């Protein structure tokens, strides 16, 4: 058992690198998906209900509820509404920012200072995402007759959001490692 703990203790740096790789993969993939209609429409409940983001959209919440497509569903009238609402334009911009954060974090081997900045931005992004638990009604199971609704019953949207706690922790760990590497190269 002692060997196990010694070996486990030796994996800290490996774990940090795996956290960084995980952040980069998730940010590049999810950021890239923001260029597709289904992903853009999927984030609208969060954006429309957010006091810090809703101004990017033409229509106020809950107008979007009448124009939501299911993933894989094609309804031209809803697509037209989302174009007019600036849904896709907002999603493209958000996706570009998320991809940029992922690329910054990936620079750790060559530019640790920029990687630390990227990790800090991922931390801030996670905080914003977690705020959706407060601002977005769709993050909680709706009251449709069952007693298991509202807090603490997370809906699918809520379960998606709460995972950002993990991203936040990974961002802090990778930021600290990158900042440490940068400081060591400057002394």
Task: Compute the Cα dihedral for 153, 157, 163, 168 and give only its sign.
Answer: negative
Q: How confident is the model at residue 1 (pLDDT cuts 50, 70, 90)?
A: confident
pLDDT band at 153; cut points 50, 70, 90: very high
DSSP per residue over 115-144, as a string? Answer: HHHHHHHHHHHHHHHHHHHHH-GGGB---S
Average pLDDT over residues 39-47: 97
pLDDT for res 187: 83
Question: Average pLDDT, stretch 46-58?
Answer: 97
Model pTM above 0.75: yes
Look at the alpha carbons of 124, 132, 75, 67 in this order and tell me if their dihedral is positive or negative: negative
Predicted local confidence at residue 173, as pLDDT: 98
Tokens 């769709």 belong to residue? 138
> Residue 108: which of 2, 179, 165, 59 has the closest Cα?
179
Whole-number percent of the chain with pLDDT over 90: 98
């Amino acid at each position: 058992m002692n060997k196990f703990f010694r070996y486990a203790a030796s994996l800290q740096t490996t774990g940090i690198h795996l956290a960084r790789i995980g952040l980069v993969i998730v940010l590049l993939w999810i950021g890239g998906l923001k260029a597709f209609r289904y992903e853009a429409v999927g984030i609208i409940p969060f954006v429309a209900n957010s006091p810090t983001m809703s101004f990017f959209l033409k229509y106020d919440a809950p107008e979007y509820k009448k124009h939501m497509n299911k993933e894989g569903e094609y309804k031209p009238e809803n697509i037209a509404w989302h174009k007019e609402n600036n849904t896709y334009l907002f999603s493209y911009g958000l996706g570009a920012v998320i991809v940029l954060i992922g690329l910054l974090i990936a620079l750790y081997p060559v530019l640790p200072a920029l990687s630390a900045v990227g990790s800090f931005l991922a931390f801030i992004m996670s905080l914003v995402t977690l705020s959706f638990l407060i601002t977005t009604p769709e993050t909680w199971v709706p009251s449709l007759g069952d007693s298991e609704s509202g807090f603490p019953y997370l809906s699918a949207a809520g379960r998606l959001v709460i995972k950002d706690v993990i991203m936040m922790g990974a961002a802090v760990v990778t930021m600290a490692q990158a900042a440490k590497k940068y400081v060591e190269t400057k002394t």
